Amino acid sequence: MNTQPLYAQIAESIARRIRSGELAVGDQLPSERELSEELRVSRMTLRQALALLRDQGLIDGQHGRGNFVAGPRFEQPVDVLVGFTDNMIRRGVRPGARILSLQSKLADRAIARSLQVAVGEPIYCLHRLRLADDTPVALEHSYFPAQRCPNLYSFDLEKRSVYAVLAQEFGIKLGRARQSLEPTVARPDEAELLGVPEGAPLMLIERVSYDDQQRAVEYAKDLYRGDCFRFVSWSQPPSTS
Amino acid sequence: MNTQPLYAQIAESIARRIRSGELAVGDQLPSERELSEELRVSRMTLRQALALLRDQGLIDGQHGRGNFVAGPRFEQPVDVLVGFTDNMIRRGVRPGARILSLQSKLADRAIARSLQVAVGEPIYCLHRLRLADDTPVALEHSYFPAQRCPNLYSFDLEKRSVYAVLAQEFGIKLGRARQSLEPTVARPDEAELLGVPEGAPLMLIERVSYDDQQRAVEYAKDLYRGDCFRFVSWSQPPSTS
């Protein structure tokens, strides 16, 4: 005999369908009426089951829009500079990268300003698709002053974290970074690379990372899948001094 | 005689069209070819002018998608808890609020968990449209434990900051807050209230704010217009201790 309360049993039976793939990420669940008839429980019990699944992060309930199977949501801290690789490893997920391009270029105005170098200084542009357990979850555009990491292209940037390469190969100690977050939607080319529908929500993160001497060492524009990441931060009350 | 370099004069002539309203927020600028012919300048000079306008935040250049007239972009800190009202005032913008609803309810599971109260405890739900110089820019859903602010409804929450009311009327000193940021897109009802197209990018911010005794005093789900806000934060290197 199952000693779990009925709503928890119902939640588990829905969770099984999700894990089995019968219900896939992004799928809409049947309506509450349909589900309660199908599972032969009251609407109240069903709602308790759905609330539990929401608490467990298995479904996203959007008021007035029904319930959807939620993708895995990785929490990425905003107030601590943790690279993609380290963040995935901490969460028990295998990080990966596919290099889409790695070019040597001369800095244009915007990049020169962000990296605090002269216009025309040589820089590396690294464009990578980032994978979590082989699923594409983010697109990175990163720019580095070539002078600080002269032969960056000779390291395996599909296997290694760039931050680890900067630290281990070039002795760069990362300090603070300034990040800006903006919601945006996937363009057709981005949608195709990330495996999401065109117009799907993405987080655009622009970042300038500094070394421990306050010199800019990375300028990045990253696009994260909105269905896979949420960005978390503790905020402090404004100082009154 | 104008002593500004030619590209700056060209940028100024485009900026004038934006300020006059001839080009409105969200409008696409004519192509580089059209603009250079119309303004009788080389493509190189035109590109310098466009780069300047981008630097000034007057246009958004999106690679492969042309240039668009940018909306006002407010930077909202993520690492410091600054209310909407104070943030607008700091930026020289007149804050406003329209109350869409203010209800007294009993806490459901999700809200009880966020506010650390028992299921069924009385709470206030405040739903406001936030204005910046009379333009709708955000939608707020805020929940407060009624016990901490017994007659919240008797204060003018269209004119006053809720944080100010909590502090001044109920002696609540705000401490830290935990925020989570996710990109999303506007539903029809949200689009109508915010004056953006359906599917436009929005930032969903969930926040639990604590008082100086670490008691939860606010649970909020806010939607910010992506064309009006960017969220900024300094991140620190992970502590090695």
Using the structure block, give the residue that is written with the tokens 């170098």. A117
Contact B216, B111 (CB under 8 A): no
Q: Is B54 helix (H, G, I), strand (E, B) or coil?
A: helix
Residues with Cβ within 8 Å of B153's Cβ and at least 6 positions away in sequence, in order, are B102, B104, B124
Residue A91 contacts B, CB cutoff 8 Å: no
Record the tokens describing residue A230, joined without a space.
């949420």
Ordered by start, the domain boundaries in chain A are 6-69, 74-232
d(CA A9, CA A2): 8
pLDDT at A58: 78
A46-75 pLDDT tens trace: 999 998 888 767 788 765 678 888 766 788
What pLDDT sits at residue B209? Answer: 96
| Average pLDDT over every residue of B100-121 | 91
Q: Is the minimum CB–CB distance between B44 and chain A shorter than 8 Å?
A: no
DSSP state string for A107-142: --HHHHHHHT--TT-EEEEEEEEEEETTEEEEEEEE
Q: Which residues of B touch A174 (CB under 8 A)?
A: 237
User: Model pTM?
Assistant: 0.77
Tell me if A232 and B178 make a contact (CB, 8 A cut-off).
yes
Residue in chain B closest to A79 (alpha carbons) equals B235
Query: Mean pLDDT, chain A, as a whole number?
Result: 88
Please give the Cα distance from A195 to A203 (Å, whole number). 15
Tens digit of pLDDT for each residue in A137-172?
999 999 999 999 999 999 999 999 899 999 999 999
Length of chain B: 241
Across A190-194, B11-15, B68-72, the highest mean pLDDT is recorded for A190-194
Query: Looking at residues B218-237, what average pLDDT do you find?
Result: 92
The whole-angstrom separation of Cα A118 and Cα A96 is 33
Whether B129 has a pLDDT exceeding 90, the answer reads yes
> Does this complex have an ipTM over 0.85?
no
Confidence of residue B169 (pLDDT cuts 50, 70, 90): very high
What local confidence, expressed as pLDDT, does residue B1 receive?
57
**What token pair was written down for A194?**
């990330």
Fold of A6-69: Arc Repressor Mutant, subunit A (1.10.10)
In the three-class reduction of DSSP (H, G, I as helix; E, B as strand; rest coil), residue A105 is classed as: strand
Give yes or no for a contact between B165 and B139, defined as CB atoms under 8 angstroms apart: no
Cβ-Cβ contacts under 8 Å, B178 against chain A: 232-235
Q: What is the CATH number of domain B74-232?
A: 3.40.1410.10
* Model pLDDT, residue A18: 78
pLDDT for A64: 63
Among B2-6, B10-14, B230-234, whose mean pLDDT is lowest?
A: B2-6
Q: Does residue B63 register a pLDDT over 70?
A: no
Q: Do B203 and A183 touch (CB under 8 A)?
A: yes
Put simply, whether A174 touches B (Cβ < 8 Å) is: yes
Partner A, chain B 123-162, Cβ-Cβ below 8 Å: none
